[in-house]
Chains A and B, each alone.
Chain A
Amino acid sequence: MSDQNDPMAEIRASFFIECEELLEALQDGLQEMEEAEDGSEDPETINVVFRAVHSIKGGAGAFGLEALVRFAHRYETVLDEVRNGVLHPDSDAMKLFFLAADHLSDLVRACRDETPLPEETSEELLTRLDALLGDEGGAEEVAPEDFQPMGLSLGLDLPDLDAPTANHFTIRFKPEQELFATGNEPLMLLRNLCDLGTSSVRCNLADLPALEDLAPETPYIEWLIELETEAAEPEIRDVFEFVDGLCEIEITGAAPEQGPTEIAPLPEELSKALPEEAEPEAALPETLEPQVAPPPTTAGKSEERESAKDTGEARKGGAAAAKSVVRVDLERIERLVNLVGELVINQAMLSQSLDEAGLSPHSDAMNGLEEFQRLTRDIQDSVMMIRAQPVKSLFQRMSRIVREASAAVDKDVRLITEGEGTEVDKTVIERLSDPLTHMIRNAVDHGLEGAADREKAGKPRAGTVKLTAAHRSGRVIIEVADDGAGINRKRVQEIAVSKGLIPPEIQLSDSEIDNLLFLPGFSTAKTVSNLSGRGVGMDVVKTAIQSLGGRITINSEPNKGTTFSISLPLTLAVLDGMVVNVAGETLVLPLNVVVETLSLGPDDVQMLRPGHYVVRVRGGFVPLYDLGVMLGYRQQRKTEAGAIVLLIVLEDSTRAALVIDGIQDQRQVVIKGLDDSFYRAPGIAAATILGDGQIALILDPADVIAGMGHMRGADLMLSERMIANE
């Protein structure tokens, strides 16, 4: 966190946040430009792109981030040519623009984190960017005086009026009409001049016509200023910087040794020309003060006015930018989320004790409780919404991954994204980045065929990777789909056998084979390429997704492609759960996996082989597990008729029946992470605190079932299928 008391540090931090927004706009704009290659794009698009780079440069300059300024400046120069219609980027140029945008984002982050800058890449990209400009001004550098790093020293650097003067100047100044059109004011200029030292001012009204000939907008007056000053001529020129070309200006004389009070006589003809009415000498600035000073306002009033205006600005700003945004420290939100979690637990405890007190459901207390529950839920939803963010930033990062990955394996790949506006918990987004990166790389590297193979298969040479996000029944579904060759199941099975992951003789369904990809120790890369094969397999992806309370499934069709679907909870903080009793312990199952509760009949259970049971569910068979045994809470025992069984269906359509001892409740529970524990239990996703203050573990049913061991997992798949074929 930056020092709260240092406003520069705050602005700096805010600059980097703004940079992220600008980089996002840049990406969007480039994407639009690319999609409308025939020039059908909105002309505003290139302006947005240009402005994004331009604004980054501007801010970077203010903080003396020279490398960033340098790169942004030359990138911007090229974009400016596009904006002016001089340069029409072809698809190679567009690719370069994307690379430059990626690099700009690297530079921004390196500057932000004060890590070493990737200067070599800068050089290479700049050379390529400059090449787009052709002959003219390719290697244009930023004028050094424009971009000097500077700190904010807030002292006023005004000339010291008491300093001894050394130079004497005579300045002739005749405003032209245009000077007035630009809001410049001769009196201000004279005053500024006089501020440089001791002066006397005369005006020459010789050109003033007779009244009937006077054009009201035409200036006729010429000023003559005698100035004793420490300043040198350039400083005097500076005073007239803004009106250069809008007036006649003549500066003469530099007489260092003359006394400060001695004023050189006016040229004779001017003296003669001065009319009687004109005040020959005006002591500035005193005389002019009343004319130029802003109307006096009391301090209090002006403050009032400012604050009123501030809120006005905020409101108008909001309207202008469509959405009004407040930036809040994430820690504060975390705190709020935790407090709301406490509130939910507290409410559960309260309702439990009211329940035990045996109050009538129509009593005031119970009615009040109901209202309390509703409010708690609303607060909870609202708080969760604060943490929700569109997946757009994540998707943008992925478009970069696609570019890099496709370049590394020399494939032409097009990324299509859908549902960028889908909102997901911020933490989920952050923690999705790594697994998604890996999946995208996999899709580019393994999923898509090379251009030649694609042509043979009658597909376009360029492969497509589609990244989509959508809300579906209270969860977020994120899909990575490629239009490649599909999973080579024969090969996958061979590898699994060769690695001892499955027995050689086993017959597996397509979906079972596909799921082998998720087994630890599996890697399909024939050669270790630049991208995948880093020892990170899909099992790591699966674990990462599961740790977010999510599921991942595969769907692959030969020659059509492969789709990985990730299903995630909207938030990490709450869960709709079923609270059950098993072997004296209270456990919570995610409600969305439970499809049915059954009471076992006398002939429902059949033994497949010792220790392996199946249960008949409406004509089909489903493997039966005693949850207490699976969790190591009790020994295997014969499942009696009348036992309560939960039928669950996982995301990958795996079905299982879990024997439990009783159902307590169905309700929302607050998820408490177990990440900090020295022990991570298989099959346990998290924990929650019950109404009585006790902790209940939240199960990950897929992990519980898979947790019986990899071989057992394959075994189970087999038995499940055998039963299904029965």
Chain B
Amino acid sequence: MSEQGQNNDLELLTFRVADQEYSLDIMSVREIRGWTRTTPMPHAPDYMRGVINLRGTVLPVMDLARRLHLPSQETNDRNVIIVVNLNGTLTGLLVDAVSDIVAITEDDLQLPPDMSTDPQMSVVRSLTVIDDRMIRVLDLRAVVPAASDEVA
């Protein structure tokens, strides 16, 4: 599946996590849900918020702030869960709020500076500037670990 349209067009869903702006390719976003209480999983890493009922299936929810090693905020009613589809598997990403959908072209993307020591940047695929705001484009594959990675 191509990540871009015919004219290198790319639509990004932008959202806020711990007062920073991030984005995801909209093609990988299935839906956006309001925050509901999660059922915590035992002995889970801190970014694993638990599971919720998504129309009869069990959806694991990840706290994106904690995943990005940012200070986690108290959850409130404005928080949303972005349901993303990675290789057919659905995962919920808890973010502070969804901002916008922006259309850009591949040319607008810049590779992130090499900051491999920065754990936050390892999941950022590229950067783009919209209205003078720097927006990080997340690499979903790096954000959501494969289940096998986590088996202790």
Chain A interfacial positions (CB closer than 8 Å to B): 338, 341-342, 345, 585-586, 630-633, 672-684, 687, 689, 693-697, 707
Tell me which residues across on chain A come within 8 A of B39, comparing CB atoms: 585-586, 687, 694-697
Identity of the chain A residue whose Cβ is nearest the Cβ of B86 in the assembled complex: A678
Minimum CB–CB distance for B89 against chain A, Å: 5
Q: Are A679 and B44 in contact (CB under 8 A)?
A: yes
Q: Are A680 and B150 in contact (CB under 8 A)?
A: yes
Identity of the chain A residue whose Cβ is nearest the Cβ of B145 in the assembled complex: A678
Chain B interfacial positions (CB closer than 8 Å to A): 37, 39-45, 48, 51-53, 56-58, 60, 62, 89-91, 144-147, 149-152
Q: Are A697 and B41 in contact (CB under 8 A)?
A: yes
Partner of A631, one of B37, B42, B48: B42
Distance of A676 Cα from B150 Cα, bound (Å): 12
Minimum CB–CB distance for B57 against chain A, Å: 7
Q: Are B147 and A694 in contact (CB under 8 A)?
A: no
Q: Are B56 and A341 in contact (CB under 8 A)?
A: yes
Identity of the chain B residue whose Cβ is nearest the Cβ of A630 in the assembled complex: B42
Tell me which residues across on chain A come within 8 A of B42, comparing CB atoms: 630-633, 681-684, 697
Minimum CB–CB distance for A380 against chain B, Å: 15
Minimum CB–CB distance for B147 against chain A, Å: 6
Q: Indicate whether A675 sits within 8 Å of B147 (C-beta atoms), given known contacts A338-B56, A687-B58, A695-B51.
A: yes
**Sample of 7 further A-B pairs with CB below 8 A, known A681-B42, A693-B53, A694-B37:** A632-B42, A632-B43, A676-B147, A677-B60, A677-B91, A694-B53, A695-B51
Q: Are A585 and B40 in contact (CB under 8 A)?
A: yes
Q: Are A674 and B51 in contact (CB under 8 A)?
A: yes
Minimum CB–CB distance for A222 against chain B, Å: 77
Minimum CB–CB distance for B136 against chain A, Å: 21
Identity of the chain A residue whose Cβ is nearest the Cβ of B143 in the assembled complex: A678
Q: Are B56 and A345 in contact (CB under 8 A)?
A: yes
Q: Are B151 and A680 in contact (CB under 8 A)?
A: yes
Distance of A437 Cα from B65 Cα, bound (Å): 45
Tell me which residues across on chain A come within 8 A of B57, comparing CB atoms: 672
Minimum CB–CB distance for B18 against chain A, Å: 21
Q: Are B152 and A678 in contact (CB under 8 A)?
A: no
Tell me which residues across on chain A come within 8 A of B146, comparing CB atoms: 678
Q: Are B147 and A342 in contact (CB under 8 A)?
A: no
Tell me which residues across on chain A come within 8 A of B48, comparing CB atoms: 678-679
Tell me which residues across on chain B come within 8 A of A707, comparing CB atoms: 43
Q: Are A678 and B58 in contact (CB under 8 A)?
A: no
Distance of A293 Cα from B42 Cα, bound (Å): 81
Tell me which residues across on chain B come within 8 A of A585, comparing CB atoms: 39-40
Q: Are B45 and A679 in contact (CB under 8 A)?
A: yes
Tell me which residues across on chain B come within 8 A of A681, comparing CB atoms: 41-44
Distance of A585 Cα from B144 Cα, bound (Å): 26
Minimum CB–CB distance for A511 against chain B, Å: 26
Tell me which residues across on chain B come within 8 A of A586, comparing CB atoms: 39
Tell me which residues across on chain B come within 8 A of A633, comparing CB atoms: 40, 42
Q: Are B41 and A679 in contact (CB under 8 A)?
A: yes
Partner of B152, one of A631, A632, A682, A687: A682
Minimum CB–CB distance for B63 against chain A, Å: 12
Minimum CB–CB distance for A633 against chain B, Å: 7
Tell me which residues across on chain A come within 8 A of B91, comparing CB atoms: 677-678
Q: Are A673 and B145 in contact (CB under 8 A)?
A: no
Which of A586, A675, A680 has most chain B Cβ within 10 Å?
A680
Distance of A684 Cα from B60 Cα, bound (Å): 14
Tell me which residues across on chain B come within 8 A of A689, comparing CB atoms: 53, 56, 58
Which of B45, B62, B147 has most chain A Cβ within 10 Å?
B147
Q: Indicate whether A676 sits within 8 Å of B90 (C-beta atoms), given known contacts A695-B58, A696-B39.
A: yes
Q: Are A677 and B58 in contact (CB under 8 A)?
A: yes
Tell me which residues across on chain A come within 8 A of B37, comparing CB atoms: 694
Identity of the chain B residue whose Cβ is nearest the Cβ of A338 in the assembled complex: B56
Sort A-B residue pairs by CB-CB distance and give the 8 closest, nearest first. Answer: A631-B42, A677-B60, A681-B41, A695-B39, A676-B89, A672-B58, A679-B48, A687-B58
Identity of the chain B residue whose Cβ is nearest the Cβ of A676 in the assembled complex: B89
Minimum CB–CB distance for A373 against chain B, Å: 19
Partner of A678, one of B43, B56, B150: B150
9 pairs of residues in contact across A and B, judged by CB atoms under 8 Å? A345-B56, A585-B39, A672-B58, A677-B147, A680-B150, A682-B43, A683-B42, A689-B56, A693-B53
Q: Indicate whether A631 sits within 8 Å of B58 (C-beta atoms), given known contacts A678-B146, A694-B37.
A: no
Distance of A585 Cα from B40 Cα, bound (Å): 8
Distance of A696 Cα from B145 Cα, bound (Å): 23
Distance of A586 Cα from B40 Cα, bound (Å): 10
Partner of A342, one of B44, B56, B145: B56
Partner of B147, one of A680, A682, A693: A680
Distance of A680 Cα from B57 Cα, bound (Å): 16
Q: Are B144 and A678 in contact (CB under 8 A)?
A: yes
Tell me which residues across on chain B come within 8 A of A675, comparing CB atoms: 147
Identity of the chain B residue whose Cβ is nearest the Cβ of A543 in the assembled complex: B151
Q: Indicate whether A679 sits within 8 Å of B150 (C-beta atoms), given known contacts A585-B39, A695-B39.
A: yes
Distance of A325 Cα from B66 Cα, bound (Å): 54
Which of B52, B56, B62 has most chain A Cβ within 10 Å?
B56
Minimum CB–CB distance for A670 against chain B, Å: 9
Distance of A342 Cα from B55 Cα, bound (Å): 9
Tell me which residues across on chain B come within 8 A of A676, comparing CB atoms: 60, 89-90, 147
